[in-house]
């Protein structure tokens, strides 16, 4: 076998641009980690070469013509399967909404910092087609490990089979790997297919929490604390009637009270099992507490709420807003983020802003 054949294949990305003069800088940065085919938007082939690992779109998102062209060009199913990274002009909020509506999996913003871009490229685009299939495997393994924990929580636990810390920890490695190898967006697509609302919700929260921890470059043991806590945060819902959990209209005040009991119930159940660490029990009991004391069940305030709980609360509320619910249409990430900005004083704003790239699918 010749040397060339043993060399790992380089990523190959399509850089779609309607402003070649401005895209040249970006192309030369991208060339550090990938081969780049820079193609004018209108010349993008309808039936692309199948060796691209992703598309970088650098167009004028405020131009209706440019947006229509790229929308039309990227409808081919080979493009549909590829991650799309959009370049945004500096400080243009509406552009980011436009990018997400065009199926962006991530965005980068002028002015370019080459380290940041390279990091995003590595995170968004797998190394090669071969790598892409092992990413798909990792995603599948992670989702099924997490789903197995949900089965334990929502089916076995109420039937009297205790949940153990080991059940939860067994899933950790595969979930962390899935999110490391793919992206929160792919995780969401995979778990949103789940038919049961409570499963879906917990799987979403888990994805957001892990992606958050990874985005913050947390140490591996801290990532594990996050994934554990997220998986079990709503364990008490296993004891709430399905007529409330799956209700298709707004809950009555009495049903709201019933639902809110899940925090205390979950805590009591896991505490009686004995082997769950205090900080996990704390998340189960306190993930609905608010910094201003308006949350439940204990009306904790400020410093009484740990960082771990604060992070789970952010992932939890965000997941709830963007969830595919029966009683209300899901919100776009941008709208959900705006709603959360309105919770100033209740949730940790520093953490919320740190969460922003995760919220937008980085
Ligand atoms: Fe909850
Ligand atoms: Fe929740």
pLDDT at 6: 38
- Mean pLDDT to the nearest integer, 285-300: 96
The answer to whether residues 170 and 292 belong to one domain is yes
The answer to whether residues 121 and 134 belong to one domain is no
- Mean pLDDT to the nearest integer, 299-306: 95
The answer to whether residues 170 and 194 belong to one domain is yes
Residues, beta carbon < 5 Å, ion ligand 2 = 234, 316
CA–CA dist 120, 309 (Å, integer)? 28
Q: What's the CA-to-centroid distance between 259 and ligand 2, angstroms?
A: 11
Cβ(309)–Cβ(292) below 8 Å? no
pLDDT at 30 over 90: no
3-class SS of residue 88: strand
The answer to whether residues 211 and 252 belong to one domain is yes
The answer to whether residues 174 and 278 belong to one domain is yes
Name the domain boundary from 100, 125, 150.
125
Q: Is residue 2 part of a domain?
A: no
Q: Is residue 193 part of a domain?
A: yes
pLDDT, tens only, 46-102: 777 667 888 899 998 888 888 899 988 888 777 877 888 888 876 666 777 788 778
Q: Is residue 1 part of a domain?
A: no
34-40 and 84-88 beta bridge pairing: unpaired
pLDDT at 4 over 60: no
Q: What is 101-161 written as a DSSP string? A: HTT-SEEEESSP-HHHHHHHHHHHS-SSHHHHHHHHHHHHHHHHHHHHHHHIIIIITTTTP
Name the domain boundary from 73, 98, 125.
125
3-class SS of residue 34: strand
Indicate the pLDDT class of residue 7, thresholds 50, 70 and 90.
very low
Q: Is residue 277 part of a domain?
A: yes
Q: Is residue 291 part of a domain?
A: yes
Q: What's the CA-to-centroid distance between 256 and ligand 2, angstroms?
A: 14
CA–CA dist 170, 176 (Å, integer)? 11
The boundaries of the domain holding residue 80 are 9-125
Q: What's the CA-to-centroid distance between 234 and ligand 1, angstroms?
A: 5
pLDDT at 1 over 50: no
pLDDT at 51: 75
With vertex at residue 317, the alpha carbon angle to CA 312 and CA 322, rounded to the nearest 5 degrees, is 125
pLDDT, tens only, 202-259: 999 999 999 999 989 888 889 999 999 999 999 999 999 988 888 878 889 999 999 9
- Mean pLDDT to the nearest integer, 126-154: 82
Least confident of 154-158, 329-333, 347-351: 329-333
Q: What's the CA-to-centroid distance between 16 and ligand 1, angstroms?
A: 43
Residues, beta carbon < 5 Å, ion ligand 1 = 234
Q: Which ligand is nearest to the CA of 296?
A: 1
Q: Is residue 292 part of a domain?
A: yes
The answer to whether residues 313 and 354 belong to one domain is yes
Q: What's the CA-to-centroid distance between 163 and ligand 2, angstroms?
A: 18
CA–CA dist 210, 180 (Å, integer)? 9
pLDDT, tens only, 147-156: 999 999 998 9
CA–CA dist 176, 328 (Å, integer)? 31
Q: What's the CA-to-centroid distance between 281 and ligand 2, angstroms?
A: 14
Hey, what are 258's tokens? 């019933």
Q: Which ligand is nearest to the CA of 197?
A: 2
Q: Is residue 3 part of a domain?
A: no
Return the CATH number at 349. Answer: 1.10.3210.10
Q: What's the CA-to-centroid distance between 194 and ligand 2, angstroms?
A: 16
Return the CATH number at 22. Answer: 3.40.50.2300
The answer to whether residues 98 and 151 belong to one domain is no
Q: Which ligand is nearest to the CA of 202?
A: 2
pLDDT at 282: 97
The answer to whether residues 109 and 190 belong to one domain is no
Length of the chain: 362
Q: What counts of helices (H) and strands (E) characterise the chain?
A: 18, 5
CA–CA dist 24, 324 (Å, integer)? 40
Q: What is 245-276 written as a DSSP string? A: HT-SSPPPHHHHHHHHTHHHHHHHHHHHH--S
pLDDT at 5 over 50: no
Choice between 340 and 112, residue whose per-residue pLDDT is larger: 340
Q: What's the CA-to-centroid distance between 281 and ligand 1, angstroms?
A: 13
As a whole-number percent, the residues of the chain with pLDDT over 90 amount to 42
The answer to whether residues 64 and 183 belong to one domain is no
Q: Which ligand is nearest to the CA of 288?
A: 1
Indicate the pLDDT class of residue 310, thresholds 50, 70 and 90.
very high
The answer to whether residues 239 and 142 belong to one domain is yes
- Tell me the pTM: 0.68
The answer to whether residues 155 and 70 belong to one domain is no
Name the domain boundary from 125, 148, 175.
125
Choice between 116 and 57, residue whose per-residue pLDDT is larger: 57
Q: Is residue 4 part of a domain?
A: no
Listed in sequence order, the residues at least 6 apart from 3 whose beta carbon sits closer than 8 Å to its beta carbon are none
The answer to whether residues 86 and 150 belong to one domain is no
As a whole-number percent, the residues of the chain with pLDDT over 70 amount to 92
Closest by CA position to 36, among listed 21, 18, 53, 19: 53
Q: Which ligand is nearest to the CA of 259?
A: 1
* Overall number of domains in the chain: 2
Q: What's the CA-to-centroid distance between 360 and ligand 1, angstroms?
A: 22
Q: What's the CA-to-centroid distance between 205 and ligand 2, angstroms?
A: 7
pLDDT at 132: 63
- Mean pLDDT to the nearest integer, 300-311: 96
């Amino acid at each position: 076998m010749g040397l060339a054949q043993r060399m790992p294949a380089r990523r190959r990305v399509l850089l779609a641009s309607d402003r070649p003069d401005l895209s040249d800088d970006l192309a030369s940065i991208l060339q550090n980690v990938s081969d780049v085919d820079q193609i004018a938007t209108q010349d993008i082939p309808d039936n692309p070469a199948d060796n691209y690992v992703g598309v970088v779109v650098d167009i004028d998102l405020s131009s209706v013509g440019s947006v229509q062209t790229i929308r039309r060009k990227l409808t081919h199913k080979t493009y549909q399967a590829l991650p799309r990274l959009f370049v945004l002009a500096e400080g243009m909020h509406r552009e980011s909404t436009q990018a997400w509506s065009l199926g962006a999996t991530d965005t980068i913003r002028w002015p370019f910092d080459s380290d940041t871009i390279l990091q995003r490229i590595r995170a968004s685009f797998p190394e090669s087609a071969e790598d892409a299939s092992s990413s798909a495997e990792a995603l599948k393994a992670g989702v099924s490990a997490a789903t197995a924990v949900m089965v334990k929580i929502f089916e076995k636990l109420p039937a009297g089979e205790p949940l153990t810390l080991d059940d939860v920890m067994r899933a950790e490695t595969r979930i962390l790997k899935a999110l490391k190898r793919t992206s929160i967006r792919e995780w969401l697509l995979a778990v949103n297919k789940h038919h049961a609302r409570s499963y879906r919700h917990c799987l979403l929260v888990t994805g957001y929490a892990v992606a958050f921890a990874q985005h913050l470059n947390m140490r591996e043991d801290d990532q594990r604390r996050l994934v554990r806590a997220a998986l079990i945060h709503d364990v008490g819902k296993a004891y709430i009637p399905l007529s409330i959990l799956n209700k298709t209209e707004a809950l009555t005040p009495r049903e709201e009270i019933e639902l809110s009991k899940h925090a205390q119930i979950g805590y009591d159940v896991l505490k009686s099992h004995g082997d769950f660490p205090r900080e996990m029990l704390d998340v189960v009991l306190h993930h609905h507490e608010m910094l201003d004391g308006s949350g439940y069940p204990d009306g904790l305030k400020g410093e009484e709420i740990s960082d771990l709980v604060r992070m789970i609360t952010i992932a939890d509320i965000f997941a709830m807003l963007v969830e595919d619910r029966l009683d209300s249409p899901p919100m776009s990430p941008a709208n959900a983020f705006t709603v959360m900005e309105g919770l100033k004083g209740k949730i940790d704003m520093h953490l919320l802003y740190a969460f922003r790239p995760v919220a937008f699918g980085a």
